[in-house]
Amino acid sequence: MSIRLRFAPSPTGYLHVGGARTALFNWLLARHEGGAFVLRIEDTDRERSSDAHTQAILDGLAWLGLDLDEGPFFQSEGVERHAAQARRLLEEGKAYRDFSTPDELRVEAERQGIGHPSVLARRWAEEMGDEESDRRAGAGDPFAIRLRIPAGQTRWEDLVHGPMSFDNHDIDDFVILRADGSPVYNLAVVSDDAEQRIDTVIRGDDHISNTPKQILLYEAFGWDVPRFGHVPMILGPDGKRLSKRHGATAVEEYAGQGILPDAMVNFLALLGWNPGDEEEVMSRARLVERFSMERVNHTSAVFDTEKLGWMNGRYLAAMPAGDVVPLFVEALEADGWGGDAWSDREDGWLLELVALLKVRARSVNEMVEQARPFLGEVETYEESASAKQFEKDPAGTAERLATLAAAFAEAPEWDEEDLEEILREVAASLEIGAGKMIHPLRLAVTGRGISPGIFDVLVLLGREETLARVANACKHLSRLGDGDVS
């Protein structure tokens, strides 16, 4: 029988990167083993759950490309079954009624110096006897149902942590059905996992303490216990649990920042898993091929946004420019640019701009930032670059740029090779290094100290625009020379 895994988020918020990583590990294992990936929405907390959050989770999974084989199932739809199963354990004597209120139990346990109030609940149930218990239940007295925890040890072989063992003495006879008839979380999870024939449960480390209780429930029901694997927590770079303080924690925020889904998937896969060698940039197919629970780390993983940026840059650089164009245009529009910023340009101009920018940007949004000088006028010159390139010798710089511009004006072809040749000739005639021409030229035409290769920039700007920008820079330089820095 092939493996069946599930992702079981509670729809009480957006899809957090921790949840996304859990979903991904389940999905990778399902795809690696040719099994099924099931989604179950754990919406029993009616106050905190919402349809909007369910939709955000579905959207997040779709954006990441984690396709479902079954579901979404909704936990709230199984409440009748959960309750019926709790009553079944009661009938079989594996659970008992507790007619006390939680307060009563706590106060009395404290008075008697009993650490686990449930010890008292069990004692009261035994003292009451079945007959009286049935009579009170028949008379409509409200009661909770508690699982009778047997003596012994509860063990499992965790797929991440290896052998795990809990002394049952440390586990309360916990309530499985509340006095108001609502099932508790651990019962609902076990009942649903059994109903959906889940045989492997991969979830966060924060659920380890639930696992012995759930195993005891499986055993009480006489059902096969699934395999469990608890994946390590995700921490921020400061070693604290990942939270808003560390930046974006919602998957959709990363989408908004221009992160590509494939890069996000690759990055998340490496949060707590490693292939055992140096390979880092792995396609989805490659991840599916290599993923195994054996190589999931026991210790926490650190969410390093620098690395995510690096990873995204690698994916962006490798993508065909044509595929990046629509993403780029979308990001431009989100940034307030309209089509008129490029509509006058020749066909293919945008594609060339994208090809130039994508190899040096870490995200589509960073491309938008770097595209500004190509889309709009140069209005200001970056301060630190200006201090170096313009302010030291404004008059001399203006003169050299003017000489260069005059030579450019005569260029037979406006292409990289010709422009480079011209620049080198002019530099040689002025007896200066090419760098002494390139840096002020870059500042003149982009307003910045850093840009893609200068000759690529010039070609993309075109002759007219380049010459106009150099002329503007010369005017600015002459004002600087006159001591007017405005």
Among 4, 5, 9, 60, binds ligand GLU (CB under 6 A): 9
Nearer to ligand GLU, 178 or 207 (CB): 207
Piece of the chain touching ligand GLU by CB under 6 A; list 2-10, 98-106, 223-231, 385-393: 2-10
C-alpha gyration radius of the chain: 33
DSSP string, 107-164: HHHHHTT-SSHHHHHHHHHHHHHHHHHHHHHHTT---EEEE-PPSSEEEEEETTTEEE
Which one of 213, 240, 244, 307 is the catalytic residue? 244
Q: Which lies closer to ligand GLU via its Cβ, residue 159 or residue 189? A: 189
Residue nearest to ligand GLU (CB): 203
Nearer to ligand GLU, 42 or 98 (CB): 42
Q: Using the rule CB under 6 A, which residue among 15, 24, 37, 42 binds ligand GLU?
A: 42
354: helix, strand or coil: helix
DSSP symbol at 295: G
- CA 408/CA 385 separation, integer angstroms: 23
Binding mask 98-117 vs ligand GLU (x if CB under 6 A, - otherwise)? Answer: --------------------
Strands 144-147 and 4-7: unpaired
Nearest by Cα to 158 from 187, 200, 195, 193? 200
Strand partners, 177: 145, 183
d(CA 179, CA 144): 4
Asked if 120 touches ligand GLU (CB under 6 A), the answer is no
Using the minimum distance from each CB to ligand GLU, give the nearer residue, 54 or 370: 54
Candidate list 24, 29, 120, 189; residue touching ligand GLU; CB under 6 A: 189
Q: Is 207 in the site for ligand GLU (CB under 6 A)?
A: yes
The DSSP bridge partners found for residue 165 are 155
Q: Which of 4, 5, 8, 332 forms a contact with ligand GLU (CB under 6 A)?
A: 8
- Judged by CB under 6 A, the number of residues near ligand GLU is 7
Which one-letter DSSP state was computed for residue 245? G
> Which residue's CB is nearer to ligand GLU, number 10 or number 85?
10
Residue 65 contacts residue 265 (beta carbons within 8 Å): yes
Rounded CA-CA distance 3/303 in Å is: 29
Which span sits near ligand GLU by CB under 6 A: 8-16, 57-65, 318-326, 394-402? 8-16
- Residue span binding ligand GLU (CB under 6 A) among the ranges 4-12, 318-326, 329-337, 356-364: 4-12
CA dihedral 456, 458, 460, 466 (to 10 degrees): 170
| Closest CB 55 distance from ligand GLU, rounded Å | 16
Q: Which is nearer to ligand GLU, 10 or 133 (CB)?
A: 10
When the beta carbons of 8 and 368 are compared against ligand GLU, the nearer one is 8
Q: Is 73 helix (H, G, I), strand (E, B) or coil?
A: strand
Q: Which of 53, 203, 230, 358 binds ligand GLU (CB under 6 A)?
A: 203
Is 244 an annotated catalytic residue? yes
Q: How far is the CB of 323 from ligand GLU (least distance, A)?
A: 34
Going from the C-alpha of 435 to that of each of 293, 387, 389, 442, 477, the distances in angstroms are: 53, 16, 11, 10, 19
Concatenated DSSP letters of 33-61: HT-EEEEEE----TTT--HHHHHHHHHHH
Q: Residue 213, interface with ligand GLU (CB under 6 A)? A: no
Q: Token pair for residue 139?
A: 């008379």
> How near is the Cβ of 9 to ligand GLU at its closest, in Å?
5
**Least distance CB 193 / ligand GLU (angstroms):** 8
Q: Does 11 engage in binding with ligand GLU (CB under 6 A)?
A: no
Distance CA 34, CA 32 (A): 6
192 binds ligand GLU (CB under 6 A): no
Per CB under 6 A, the segment of 5-13, 47-55, 266-274, 324-332 that binds ligand GLU is: 5-13
Pairing of strands 234-235, 153-158: unpaired
Using CB under 6 A, list all residues that contact ligand GLU: 8-10, 42, 189, 203, 207
The residues assigned a catalytic role are 244
